[in-house]
Amino acid sequence: MDLRIDLIRDWQAGHNVTELAEIYQLSRRVVYKWLDRYQAEGVSGLQDRRRAPRSSPQQTSPEIVAALIAARQRWKWGPRKLLAKLQQQEPRRDWPAASTIADILKRAGLTAPRQRRRRTPPGAQPFAEISAANQTWCADFKGWFRTGDGARCDPLTITDAHSRYLLCCQIVPKTDTPHVEALFDAAFHTYGLPEAIRTDNGPPFASTAPGGLSRLALRWIKLGIRVERTKPASPQENGRHERMHLTLKQDTLTPPAANPRRQQEDFDRFQQVYNEQRPHEALANRTPASVYAYSPRALPRRVPELTYPEPMLVRRVFHNGDFKWKGERIHLSEVLAQEPIGLRPHDDRYFEVYYGPVALGWFDTWKAQFHRQLNKRQREEMESGQG
């Protein structure tokens, strides 16, 4: 600044532009710049100026910024979902790109950096491809938590895997078979029956009984529903449902509500917004409600009994988990109490044991023993037909 003032004083003393450029080791263009600024603005014109343009035609208008911030505060969605929703609501308005929206939300302090997590490599998918609603429902418990009054909450969630439609998000008093069965029956009454239900290996969905069956799974099989279970410690096999849980946590559990009643109200609001308002990228930014359709299979008034085709032999399991064979009692599992099982003959010694379509293991008639799996020697004997 001092040198610029000296340059002006030398110019006022009679030095020309060429002389000033030589004295101050500047180009003639720079000398003219400072002279022009001084003549236009006085000494204040010699101050440094920001190089950024004073105005930008590409700058987002304050009205758009305010609308984006309001939308974020209302829905708490990411930039791409906000953009899709706003374009649906006001298609004629010139909304900025998702990357610009992300910058605006970041400047407004409405985003937080996501922590990097070490992810489990995806395993082979053992399930059939999903191409229509009600082919597969996914179910799980969103990990338990406590509300502000210290009460424990265990929400059961059910989604349709194709449309991502959230069928149920309900806190259950207990995570046992009667309470969970009641919620599933309510969903069956409302939406119809799916072809399959996919869960993890925890109770009440599964047990340590043969075939991993539980009392709840037995009921589903009798209703003609295929039971699918993910591999242990493999949440990626139910990834669509787990991703919904992340959104549920972000929108309703940060922090939890004051008590279970208010928490359930938050879940109900989330379910309505998630199904009917929130666009989903995997659905081409449509909402789950616009994709989901009710199942044509209604819940029957009475759960039908299982039947087995010939040449299978049918035995009914006693209350203690045994079934009878030629006067002898063979233990199977108490989970199958009062249920019919099918025995399909393989040869004159071994029968394969089924509950509906689910293979439970092998029955050795010579030793009157049930085996969940045959060992190597037994398999070799069975394949060779030797006893």
- Residue-wise pLDDT tens digits, 304-335: 999 999 999 999 999 999 999 999 999 999 99
Whether the pLDDT of residue 115 is over 80: the answer is no
pLDDT-derived band at 114 (thresholds 50, 70, 90) equals: low
Question: In this structure, which long-range contacts are made by residues 294-301, counting pairs with CB atoms below 8 Å and at least 24 apart in sequence?
Answer: 294/134, 294/191, 294/192, 295/133, 295/134, 295/191, 295/192, 295/193, 295/194, 296/192, 297/134, 297/192, 297/193, 297/224, 298/192, 298/193, 299/185, 299/188, 299/189, 299/192, 299/193, 299/223, 300/223
Per-residue pLDDT tens for 367-380?
Answer: 999 999 988 888 88
Q: Quote the percentage of the chain above a pLDDT of 70.
A: 93
Q: What is the pLDDT of residue 124?
A: 38
- Mean pLDDT for the stretch of residues 340-348: 94
What pLDDT, on a 0 to 100 scale, did the predictor assign at position 53? 63
**What count of Cα atoms within 13 Å lies in the side-chain half-sphere of residue 230?**
22
For residue 125, pLDDT over 50 is answered with no
Nearest to 264 by CA among 163, 164, 157, 176: 157
How far is the C-alpha of 301 from the C-alpha of 317, rounded, in Å? 24
9 or 236, higher pLDDT: 9
Give yes or no for residue 119 having a pLDDT over 60.
Answer: no
Which domains are present in the chain?
2-46 (1.10.10), 62-90+103-107 (no CATH), 136-291 (3.30.420.10), 313-384 (no CATH)
Please tell me the predicted confidence (pLDDT) of residue 127. 59
Asked whether the whole model's pTM tops 0.75, one would answer no
pLDDT value at 208 more than 50: yes
Task: State the chain's mean pLDDT as an integer.
Answer: 89
Cα distance between residue 82 and residue 76, in whole Å: 9
Segment 353-358 shows an average pLDDT of 96
